[in-house]
Amino acid sequence: MKMIKLLWLSGITCNANTHSFLNYPFIEQFLNDFEFIYHPVLDSSYTLQEIVSNEIECDVLLIEGSISPEFQRADVSIEDIIRKYAPKVQKIVTVGTCATFGGIFSQSDYKDVTGLHFDKEQKNQKFENLFDKTISISGCPIHPEILVNTLYAIKGDIALRLDNFLRPKEFYAYTVHNGCVRNEYFEYKVDAHQFGELEGCMFYDHGCQAPFTHASCNKILWNEVNSKTRVGLPCFGCTEPTFPKANLFTTKKNMGVPENLPLGVGKRVYLTLAGITKAFKIPRLEKKLLDD
Amino acid sequence: MTSKKQLKKELIIQSALELFASKGFYSTTIPDIASSVKISVGSMYNYFTSKDVLAKEIIKYISLYLGNKLQNINEEKISTEEKTKKIVEVYFKTASLKPEMIDYFLRIYLSNREVFKNGCEGMICVNEFVTEIMIYFEEGVRCGDLRDQDFFSAFGLFMGYLGGMVFLKGEEILPKALDTYIDDISYNIYKALSK
């Protein structure tokens, strides 16, 4: 199979997606199958200066970080670099929530900071002509396996079905709640959670956004072993256009009712079910799992 | 269940409700209820296997009745202040037109917890009603009309107040008709819960 040439372009970023990508467990195999014509950290075939001054052959443009018309790389506007390479490549991949939705750098001092196609939920007009060739891999940071699997799908000419934000449904049609080992506590409304402990659901009081966040964190585990919710930390909703929200460790409630409910569940349905489960105390779920 | 049987069941519920509310739970017998709907004691058991089961069905019936009324109010595009008044109106109207319903809630359901402890845990048997009150509160806070607070501190203020007024009416202590208090009570409740 032909070697796929990748250009990893950094916008306004903390490089967390780069670091996350380096944790891909089979990176050596990956680097045998793909060639970086430029990557900010890995050895690459060309320098950034060469990338911006010439037109190097490339198959996939990866964009990490938010975009602003003011922001430059190698003294060239990031938007101009995108305009130069975008028409030549087969696919564009926005790597991370900043490149996809603007993310945390939307709050930076640069002017008009957005993602490539979205300013939070709002669609941008600027690069509309590139919309059909873009795939969004949101996350803060991206899950390395999801990025890599997407790139292998591009390499293998496998058509990925995308959601409205251009995220592959294969990875983003689920919620983080799917596969969470605390589901039993969720079902019976047992929160009473201390961060880092095995017991309790974090949706009711501790800010967990898993039931309304699209991602596969509890299906494709991080470093092949764990996830935030498994280890006892709430999901921060980092794959969503609304990321980052404030007060990530507390559940926003109105008169005791969570403001954000599990995806697609109506308020009346939720309250009816919650009213029933709340009426019962299940001693097994109130106790510690290992130490009585 | 056939619609004929369903109708008969509702008739039994309504008659039992009136008897329980007026004579009390323990003083009302299954034969009393059977004779009020003109069926035999034996066939009563085809509908309800015991007096306790019937008692639980009645509270669910009341909850559903009031819950439906409140759902209609919640679905109207009106301010929280207007919703508050409409809820008070519905509650007092029910207390006036169907006094047995509110009496049953106050004098049977709340006063004979031993009958309801199995099968009506927590608020299960009044779920429809409580759910609508929760939605009214949640939407009130969300749109900025009501102050955020613990659900029960708000619920107690609202329902305790209304229940207390209906109780006073039942004891014939209130000098005026319930509906003459609607404006003042709605104003007081909204004032207490709003920002």
Matching residue, tokens 């008739």:
B11
Instruction: Please state, in angstroms and rounded to a whole number, the distance separating the CA atoms of residues A131 and A237.
Output: 24
pLDDT band at B1 (very low <50, low <70, confident <90, very high): low
Number of domains in chain A: 2
Probe site for chain B from A253, A255, A259 (most B CB atoms < 10 A) = A255
pLDDT tens-digit map of B27-59 = 999 999 999 999 999 999 999 999 999 999 999
Give residues with Cβ within 8 angstroms of A262, minimum separation 6. Answer: A175, A177, A211, A212, A270
Instruction: Please state, in angstroms and rounded to a whole number, the distance separating the CA atoms of residues B40 and B35.
Output: 7
Residue A252 in contact with partner chain B when CB distance is under 8 A: no
Residue A266 in contact with partner chain B when CB distance is under 8 A: no
Interface pTM, i.e. ipTM: 0.84
Probe site for chain A from B84, B138, B149, B150 (most A CB atoms < 10 A) = B138
What the block records as the tokens of B188 is 């007081």
- CB contacts < 8 A (A, B): 56
**Taking the CB of residue A162, how many other CB atoms lie within 10 A of it?**
15
pLDDT score, position A292: 61
Q: What is the mean pLDDT of chain A?
A: 95
Q: At A250, which CATH number?
A: 4.10.480.10
Average pLDDT over residues A59-87: 97
- Same domain for A92 and A156? yes
| pLDDT higher than threshold 90 for residue A234 | yes
Query: Of A170, A187, A215, which one is at a domain's C-terminal end?
Result: A170
> Does the distance separating the beta carbons of B137 and A255 come in below 8 Å?
yes
**Taking the CB of residue B20, how many other CB atoms lie within 10 A of it?**
26
B-contacting residues of A 23-52, CB under 8 Å? none
> Does the distance separating the beta carbons of B128 and A255 come in below 8 Å?
no
Residues of chain B found within 8 Å of residue A205, distances taken between Cβ atoms? none
The residue ranking higher by pLDDT, B136 or A2, is: B136
> Please, are residues B74 and B136 in contact by the beta-carbon 8 Å criterion?
yes
- Same domain for A20 and A87? yes
> Please, are residues A130 and A86 in contact by the beta-carbon 8 Å criterion?
yes
> Does the distance separating the beta carbons of A275 and B142 come in below 8 Å?
no
Give residues with Cβ within 8 angstroms of A160, minimum separation 6. Answer: A135, A150, A153, A168, A169, A170
pLDDT tens-digit map of A151-191 = 999 999 999 999 999 999 999 999 999 999 999 999 999 98
Residue A259 in contact with partner chain B when CB distance is under 8 A: yes
**Residue A38 bridge partners (DSSP):** A7
pLDDT score, position B4: 86
Residues of chain B found within 8 Å of residue A281, distances taken between Cβ atoms? none
| pLDDT higher than threshold 70 for residue A1 | no
Set out the domains of chain B in order of their start, with CATH numbers: 52-193 (1.10.357.10)
Query: Of A104, A138, A170, which one is at a domain's C-terminal end?
Result: A170
pLDDT score, position A3: 87
> Please, are residues A78 and A9 in contact by the beta-carbon 8 Å criterion?
yes
| pLDDT higher than threshold 80 for residue A115 | yes
The pTM score is 0.89
| pLDDT higher than threshold 70 for residue B161 | yes
Residues of the domain holding A231: 174-292
| pLDDT higher than threshold 80 for residue B113 | yes
- Same domain for A77 and A196? no
Average pLDDT over residues B7-23: 92
- Same domain for A191 and A274? yes
Average pLDDT over residues A52-79: 97
Instruction: Please state, in angstroms and rounded to a whole number, the distance separating the CA atoms of residues B36 and B22.
Output: 13
- Same domain for A204 and A100? no
- Same domain for A54 and A157? yes
Query: Of A170, A185, A204, which one is at a domain's C-terminal end?
Result: A170
Longest C-alpha distance within chain B, in Å? Answer: 57
- Same domain for A70 and A108? yes
> Does the distance separating the beta carbons of A279 and B138 come in below 8 Å?
no
Alpha carbon of A116: minimum distance to chain B alpha carbons (Å): 32
Lowest average pLDDT, out of A21-25, A137-141, B118-122, B184-188, goes to B118-122
- Same domain for A166 and A212? no
Nearest to A24 by CA among A90, A95, A94: A95
pLDDT score, position A290: 86
pLDDT score, position A175: 98
pLDDT band at A194 (very low <50, low <70, confident <90, very high): confident
- Same domain for A31 and A140? yes
Instruction: Please state, in angstroms and rounded to a whole number, the distance separating the CA atoms of residues B143 and B163.
Output: 27
Probe site for chain A from B84, B134, B146 (most A CB atoms < 10 A) = B134
The proportion of chain A whose per-residue pLDDT surpasses 70, expressed as a percent, equals 99
pLDDT band at A280 (very low <50, low <70, confident <90, very high): confident
Buried/exposed code over A32-50 (b: 16+ C-beta within 10 A; e: otherwise): eebebbbbeeeebebebee
Residue A275 in contact with partner chain B when CB distance is under 8 A: yes
Q: Least CB-CB distance to A275: which of B124, B146, B154? A: B124
What the block records as the tokens of A278 is 């709340």
- Same domain for A146 and A211? no
- Same domain for A221 and A292? yes
pLDDT tens-digit map of B162-188 = 999 998 998 899 999 999 999 999 999
- Same domain for A269 and A141? no
| pLDDT higher than threshold 90 for residue A45 | yes
The proportion of chain A whose per-residue pLDDT surpasses 90, expressed as a percent, equals 90
